[in-house]
Amino acid sequence: MRERLRTEVHQIAGAIAFETVMRYGDALARSPHAEQTMETTARRVATEVAGAIADERVVQADEVVRAAATAAGDTAVRAARKVAGKTASALAAEAEARTLKKAHEAVEEELKDAWEALEEAREEVTRSAARFARDEAVRAVAETVAETVPPVVEVRVAGAPGPVRVGGHTHAVFPDVVLALGAGCHVLLVGPAGTGKSMMAQQAAEAFGQEFHALSLGPTTPMSKIFGYYDAHGRYHATPFRRAFEDGGLMLLDELDSGHPGLLAELNQALSIGSCAFADGMVAAHPDFHLIATANTYGTGGDRRYVGRQALDAATLDRFIVIDVPVDEELEERIALAHAPDRPDEARQVIGEVRRLRATAAEKRLPVMFSPRASIDAAKLLQGGASVEQAVTWRVVRGMSAAHRSALGIAEGGT
């Protein structure tokens, strides 16, 4: 019975220690204070039981001796003591059994209360752990969303029944673009390559709920690409520009500063008076016709990076609202991380290197480019299994001369 009691004492002490670990941490549970508390608890219970047994034995023995002495008289004292001793031993054994039974019942009750309290503690710990886990999950999801999931952009446009909304990764100047288009203006987006100008045109079409049309211009782009033509059978062939102009829609003229001056001069009429001479006749512009053009220069001709650009006529430039589109590094990071969800740390490392090279190239006015496309493509390579060194070598610094690599601080044969 003593062994069972000792075992249960150890069980409850161990359970209390376990709850201490759950609540206050492993370090506290292994501290000298916790160990001393468990040892003291066990010793106290054992001492109380032993004391109760000893007290019971003494009381019973004295009563037996006095009774035996009175019954036997003075001449039988020695024999009486002998008899009393044996009887006292028997009584002591009975007393010990009764005491242990009472002690066991008391401990049983205490153990029952302790286990109930312990169960409540476990439930509370479970609830606390669930709350903590839920809070941690919400925090982790919020961080991930902030890094990779783009917010919905709302822009209020005059005359619109409600705000214009668009999701997806948007550039910082996108609300300005929507505002200018909503005011009925044609927009020229000017900025370095890879800054998201064409993407903004698509998003603007989404924002206005319009069909999107696009055409990339070059020095040899024929007028038939814009105004349509008749084939050998006399059938007229319309163009994306014609459909957007006549039926309503958003038209993107990409690389405007690469277009032939004669072609652009023909466009001036359509953009200024809202009427255009197509191959089959004059057509009035639809009220919901919008046009966005993109360029890498302000129409001043080629420079050290964009050597093939044409100078734009002042009359052409006068048809547009011009909005600058610089590199949006927050947008660059969001898109790159979205393309490398399994390797965010390596993607950030590549982004940091692209930004360093970009700043150095701008400071030293080097004719090299490190656009956001470099970061995004490198992130795609990382997700596909490439190393950081491979992604940087293949996409960021490929094809550079030794002089440019030296000026940018790129080690020979490395990144």
Going from N- to C-terminal start, the domains of the chain cover: 2-148, 168-324, 329-407
Which residues are registered as beta bridge partners of 215?
253
Closest to 297 in 3D by CA, of 255, 351, 348: 255
Characterize 307-317 residue by residue with b for buried, 16 or more Cβ atoms within 10 angstroms of its Cβ, and e for exposed: eebbebeeebe
Whole-number mean pLDDT of the chain? Answer: 77
Tell me the three state secondary structure of residue 187.
strand
pLDDT higher for 349 or 170?
349
Instruction: Classify residue 223 by its DSSP letter.
Output: T
Give dist(CA 132, CA 138) in Å, integer: 10
* Residue 116 confidence class, pLDDT cut points 50, 70, 90: confident
Q: Is the pTM of this model over 0.75?
A: no
- At residue 155, what are phi and psi to the nearest 5 degrees? -130, 130
**Domain 168-324 in this protein, CATH class:** alpha beta
Specify the pLDDT at position 25.
46
Closest to 324 in 3D by CA, of 365, 352, 296: 296
The owner of tokens 């001043």 is: 300
pLDDT of 28-48, one tens digit each?
A: 444 555 556 555 655 565 555
Characterize 127-155 residue by residue with b for buried, 16 or more Cβ atoms within 10 angstroms of its Cβ, and e for exposed: eeeeeeeeeeeeeeeeeeeeebeeeebeb
| Inter-residue contact 296 to 190 (CB < 8 Å) | yes
pLDDT of 391-412, one tens digit each?
A: 999 999 988 888 988 888 887 6
- In the chain, the amino acid numbered 176 is D
Q: Where does residue 365 fall: left (phi above 0), alpha (psi -120 to 50 degrees), or beta otherwise?
A: left
pLDDT of 359-373, one tens digit each?
A: 999 898 888 889 999
| Inter-residue contact 153 to 175 (CB < 8 Å) | yes
pLDDT of 88-101, one tens digit each?
A: 566 556 656 666 66
* Residue 132 confidence class, pLDDT cut points 50, 70, 90: low
